[in-house]
Amino acid sequence: MAKKCQVSGKRALSGNNVSHANNTTRRKWDVNLHKKRLFDSESGQWVTLRVSSRVLRTIDKKGLSATLKEMGKSISDFK
């Protein structure tokens, strides 16, 4: 499974480590993903998702169904 948030689509970013001597080497910043089992109150179903920490905070604030609508997705996409 890819290191990608299933709701927002966030992926790893790449860039350079830069030393004091200005030597550059490639590096990667991974997404802070969590595997969570969430309950959708509208459909009455449990869904397991790999989501980023930022999306978890949004789900806590707005609810799962509202967050998915905002991102242009539905519960049936994750079954």
Please write the tens of the pLDDT for every residue from 20-60.
Answer: 999 999 999 999 999 999 999 888 999 999 999 999 999 99
pLDDT computed for residue 51 by the predictor: 96
pLDDT score, position 36 = 96
Confidence at residue 79, expressed as pLDDT on a 0 to 100 scale: 74
Burial 8-20 (b: 16+ CB within 10 A, else e): bebeeeeeeeeee
C-alpha span between 22 and 43 (Å, rounded): 54
Check: pTM over 0.95? Answer yes or no. no
Domains of the chain with CATH codes: 13-78 (2.30.170.40)
Instruction: Give the pLDDT of residue 5.
Output: 96
